[in-house]
Amino acid sequence: MTRAYPTRGVNYFLMIVALLTLGAYGARADFIDNGDFEAVDSRIGATNSMALNNLYWWTEWWDTYTSLPSETGVGDSWTEGTLANRIEVQRRAGHGLVVELDTHGATGASEMFCCYNSSMQQTFEIGPDDPNVFWLAFDYRSRLSEWQDAFNTSDVPDPGQGLTTFAVGVYLDGQQVMVVDKPTQEAWQTQMSSEIQLTAGMHTLEFRALGAADSYGGLLDNISLIAIPEPASFALVGAGLIGFFLLRRRQSA
Ligand SMILES: [Ca+2]
Ligand SMILES: [Ca+2]
Ligand SMILES: [Ca+2]
């Protein structure tokens, strides 16, 4: 009989933490849909006529699309943003599908259709009971080596002259909140915004290619908008943890 009590204590504790976590995150941890671009279907690309679910090294590993599917198939998909001109999807080692917004244009891969700084956006809703403070996080890397191979130079493009060709701008409701421009960052690196305040209602997150439009840009993956738990929730979890360990110490003593 005495052995049953600690086990039940642990279960109650886990249940309380789960409820607090759900409460803190408004029942979902991420407000962006298909941020890793792994939701695919048979839609056909505009440049290489490749189905999105058939981008592989042994076929054609990239194409451009006017929109990308959502995970559920309804709502919250990525669509062309204010700059339009297609969303370029590529398959990259270790990251599956990723996006590069310095894209080729419509049908035909000839130079006259290359290149456009394009953009993509997603509209999402913050509910009345959701948190209002967020971090935006996403993975980024540049294509410096590939750019150097293509242009037969060891230079970093546009050194010290504003933005390089690998720059990406991030906009919330049309306002720029981040610019990432790291030409020598060729290993994937997670970028993190400072705290972002968002009121309840509809919002638009947009990514745009900046710098020169030359088909080489910044690669993007794993975009997420993470709710920051409110201090009260942290305090409750902390109090629960302290109570739990005090209980355990007393029982083991
Ligand atoms: Ca991915
Ligand atoms: Ca570029
Ligand atoms: Ca490109």
Same domain, 166 and 245: no
Domain that holds residue 4: 1-25+230-253
Average pLDDT over residues 16-39: 69
Same domain, 115 and 89: yes
pLDDT digits (tens, 9 = 90+) for 44-83: 998 899 999 999 988 899 999 999 999 988 888 999 999 9
Model confidence at 17: pLDDT above 50 = no
Cα 126 to averaged position of ligand 1 atoms, centre (Å): 25
Cα 91 to averaged position of ligand 2 atoms, centre (Å): 18
Model confidence at 102: pLDDT above 70 = yes
Ligand lying nearest the CA atom of residue 103: 3
* pLDDT score recorded for residue 5: 38
* pLDDT score recorded for residue 189: 98
pLDDT digits (tens, 9 = 90+) for 173-218: 999 999 999 999 999 999 999 999 999 999 999 999 999 999 999 9
Average pLDDT over residues 93-100: 97
pLDDT digits (tens, 9 = 90+) for 126-137: 999 999 999 999
Cα 96 to averaged position of ligand 1 atoms, centre (Å): 4
Cα separation values, 239 from 100, 145, 190, 244, 249, Å? 45, 51, 32, 8, 15
Cα 192 to averaged position of ligand 1 atoms, centre (Å): 17
The per-residue pLDDT of the chain, averaged, comes to 84
Cα separation values, 12 from 7, 26, 148, 209, Å? 9, 21, 58, 49
- Supply the pTM of this predicted model: 0.80
Model confidence at 4: pLDDT above 50 = no
Same domain, 19 and 37: no
Please, are residues 240 and 17 in contact by the beta-carbon 8 Å criterion? yes
Same domain, 67 and 89: yes
Same domain, 75 and 145: yes
Same domain, 94 and 140: yes
Q: What percent of the chain has pLDDT over 70?
A: 76
Ligand lying nearest the CA atom of residue 64: 3
